[in-house]
């Protein structure tokens, strides 16, 4: 599906451009802008989040996201990402922290 404006329910859901609505399923993929994804595995902009993603908020066991707010056991973020969990990894500075982390560029 190219664009979704509504609800997409199934085992495998994929939206090529924009998801303005809700995806519920075992595996959810949205390549562009995302509103809400709930499922066993959700992928946004080639980044993965396990369990749930709601806009810029990711809640799950493992969250891998370019930006936003992530709560989970293990979180991996890039620039401008606030992470709360047991292990929190950033691409830039600070690289690894326990408990919480905010990813930002040092220089």
pLDDT tens, position by position, 69-99: 788 888 888 777 889 999 998 887 668 888 9
pLDDT tens, position by position, 24-82: 766 666 666 555 666 655 555 545 555 555 556 677 777 777 777 788 888 888 777 88
Nearest to 100 by CA among 72, 60, 59, 63: 72
Whether this prediction's pTM lies above 0.95 is answered by no
Instruction: Output the pLDDT for position 45.
Output: 54
Measured in degrees and rounded to the nearest 5, phi and psi for residue 56 equal -90, 5
């Amino acid at each position: 599906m190219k664009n979704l404006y509504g609800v997409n329910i199934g085992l495998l859901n994929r939206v090529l451009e924009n998801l303005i609505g809700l995806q519920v399923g075992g595996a959810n993929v949205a390549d562009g802008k995302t509103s809400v994804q709930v499922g066993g595995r959700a992928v946004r902009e080639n980044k993965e989040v396990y369990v749930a993603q709601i806009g810029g908020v990711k809640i799950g066991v493992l969250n891998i996201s370019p930006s936003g707010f992530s709560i989970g056991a293990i979180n991996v973020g890039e620039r401008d990402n606030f992470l709360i969990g047991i292990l929190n990894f950033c691409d830039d500075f600070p690289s690894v922290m326990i408990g919480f982390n905010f990813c930002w560029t040092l220089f």
